[in-house]
Structure 1
């Protein structure tokens, strides 16, 4: 969706994952609603919806996980609930949303009531595969600045046994203002002055649970496939006219608090930097990560008309998909913040209906466009959660970020 200020983007803080903990999820939802100022009545509606969703998955699904997190833009904060499970799925989603069709033993309000309570509700379900549900709660009345659906969304999950994660993602809109050329990695010159960023985790008094990765440097991705359009190496790539959407995926080396520290430094540099192209942003992130253990990083710039610029260092998979095609984008070996050779930018034309996917090596690359065919018309967060369920591993931190060319 495009607003008066450009494509709708939302900052995201992963707050907590819950498995087989319905009471804890409800308590966390209540605390989170109060913490961000959602209001007493709206917080009660949030808790009621979480209670219904958690009771449903506890009784009727396997390997269910619930994610609660804060979404923000410049003006307002809300709470998003994502529920991901495997099997049995729903054969008739519209029927499940009708009033009076509540699972036996639940609170009885039904998914239809959850849909009415939420400002945004979406569900994707495949029998025998599982279900992904999204419910989003903003203060009432609904602020105009968050009406509609964000064009970028993602999800992060820590390795089993960790509470923090070194994988991270972020998106921002380029203002269209020219920035001074970024110094190269070899020059080592100081960073440009940057805007002041708000540390939302401090304002909400909640610990941000971003995910961290095991491997930062890796062999390059496979060459782009022509099925989804050809990528070309571009020397001195420049931003196109007008606004663009910038997306970053980061995988801090290893996992745990030190990997999370690296990814948070990368996020800060991305959000406050003045770079307009992926190479400029990569230079800013490289300087910010010096003194940390480093990370694998990929940055993409999407523009009106489907032009995509991409620059990647390390083992971040980047793919442009449609329902029947997949084109891999090329990354190069290295560790951002430590061992980063000459940067290379590739230009790609995103086909009509195409979607950009970037994910860490906490997900296998052994997935096909057909696996996502029924997901691609859903919001980015639903696609990300579905892909994480399909290809994620518990042996590493994992992250997925999705950008839909809808502007």
Structure 2
């Protein structure tokens, strides 16, 4: 997945994410593959030898944990860029037996596979930031973020994940976010079709979004419609989220089959309206709608590679987790394997 170079010293720039790919963990040797990919990234980003070694340990532990415990599991390796600094992010997703108490399972000496039980404890100690969400019988999502100076940037407000259709090396879906005048703007772009040409269309939409200065979702979509006409086109949605302790509002505009949902822990869902069309090619007009954002609700944008038959009621406590864990859980359970898939989540 391509990305754009972030401006140096941008105080309100959401870290940019470059997906390096998913590594299926279906045999013991997959841990070595994951370690090599993560180490190569750390070296490219200028990590010290000591810190690169810690990246290797975390990658190997997450992959080994998937192999030991998961029925179906995969590890995503991602490059984060914040200003002039780069970081490594690892996301492990599985459909294994899950854990009733993830905190206890991550304690040293706790093992269900006859090992020393130090894997998840090492992940927690060596990472700048880490977290996980697990349900018995449903599986587990674990995430670890490692920066060169061990700084903990804390839980982000927005995060997302993409996954290409089986058989493709690149994903035609992308997400991006930026801050404008204190409000968070989030985009999901689904390039028409699959493969490299779909990725080119989605990348063009993301690049235009990140380099623009408009703050109204409808105006942003209309601008993208003009700027990506040289590509095969994309379905695009943009949300502008303003939130506080007592809730807030979401302004939303979309063109094409990209979904937006305001979801509450109780299971209540409010779908947001996207107009028919293809950004760059077909549009009968873009409309912007405003929705209430209740306290504790999250905003979810996703491509049509993700089914809309999900509810947070089925995932106790998930809405209070890191947005990346929410995105990973929804991608795992609602992702349609016959299409590219993307989920972006805002947890105010």
Q: Across the two proteins, how many residue pairs are aligned to each other? A: 332
Measure the CA separation in 1 of the matches of 2:90 and 2:209: 26
C-alpha offsets along residues 71-93 of structure 1, whole Å, 9 cap, x if unaligned? 12124211111000002111222
Residue 354 of structure 1: which of 297, 315, 324 is its match?
Answer: 297
Superposed, 1:131-210 pairs within 5 Å as 131-142=140-151, 147-174=153-180, 176=181
Q: Tell whether the 8 Å contact from 1:100 to 1:110 is kept in structure 2 after alignment.
A: no
C-alpha offsets along residues 6-50 of structure 1, whole Å, 9 cap, x if unaligned? 777221111120002222111101101101112211110011111
Once structures 1 and 2 are overlaid, which stretch shifts more, 328-337 or 304-313? 304-313
SS at match of 1:376: helix
What's the CA shift for 1:339?
0.4
Superposed, 1:378-397 pairs within 5 Å as 378-397=321-340
Q: Tell whether the 8 Å contact from 2:129 to 2:153 is kept in structure 1 after alignment.
A: no
Once structures 1 and 2 are overlaid, which stretch shifts more, 246-255 or 19-28? 19-28
Q: CA 1:8–1:381 in 2, change beyond 3 Å: closer, same or farther?
A: farther
TM normalised by structure 2 equals 0.91
- Answer yes or no: is 1:15 the counterpart of 2:17: no
Measure the CA separation in 2 of the matches of 1:340 and 1:283: 9
Task: Give ranges in structure 2 of 5+ residues lacking alignment.
Answer: 1-9
What's the CA shift for 1:103?
5.0
C-alpha offsets along residues 125-183 of structure 1, whole Å, 9 cap, x if unaligned? 111110000111011252xxx62121010000000000011100000011x3xxxxxxx
Measure the CA separation in 1 of the matches of 2:204 and 2:13: 24
What's the CA shift for 1:111?
1.0
- Answer yes or no: is 1:315 the counterpart of 2:257: yes
Q: Tell whether the 8 Å contact from 1:57 to 1:85 is kept in structure 2 after alignment.
A: yes
Q: CA 1:107–1:160 in 2, change beyond 3 Å: closer, same or farther?
A: farther
Residue 109 of structure 2: which of 100, 107, 122 is its match?
Answer: 100
C-alpha offsets along residues 101-130 of structure 1, whole Å, 9 cap, x if unaligned? 245465753211211111111111111110
Q: Tell whether the 8 Å contact from 1:102 to 1:110 is kept in structure 2 after alignment.
A: no
Measure the CA separation in 2 of the matches of 1:84 and 1:64: 6
Superposed, 1:358-373 pairs within 5 Å as 358-373=301-316
Equivalent residue for 2:210? 271
Measure the CA separation in 1 of the matches of 2:286 and 2:22: 36
Task: Give ranges in structure 1 of 5+ residues lacking alignment.
Answer: 177-242
Would you tell me which structure has more strand in proportion to its own residues?
2
Residue 186 of structure 2: which of 247, 250, 254 is its match?
Answer: 247
Q: Tell whether the 8 Å contact from 2:109 to 2:116 is kept in structure 1 after alignment.
A: no
What's the CA shift for 1:275?
1.1
Measure the CA separation in 2 of the matches of 1:303 and 1:32: 35
TM normalised by structure 1 equals 0.78
What's the CA shift for 1:100?
1.6
Equivalent residue for 1:256? 195
Measure the CA separation in 2 of the matches of 1:123 and 1:48: 18
SS at match of 1:162: coil
SS at match of 1:367: coil
Measure the CA separation in 1 of the matches of 2:11 and 2:316: 28
Higher relative contact order, chain-length normalized (CA < 8 Å, sep 6+): 1
- Answer yes or no: is 1:327 the counterpart of 2:270: yes
Equivalent residue for 1:90? 99
Once structures 1 and 2 are overlaid, which stretch shifts more, 302-311 or 247-256? 302-311
What's the CA shift for 1:372?
3.6
Of the two, which has the highest radius of gyration? Answer: 1
Measure the CA separation in 1 of the matches of 2:312 and 2:336: 19
Q: Tell whether the 8 Å contact from 1:248 to 1:298 is kept in structure 2 after alignment.
A: yes
Measure the CA separation in 1 of the matches of 2:174 and 2:90: 18
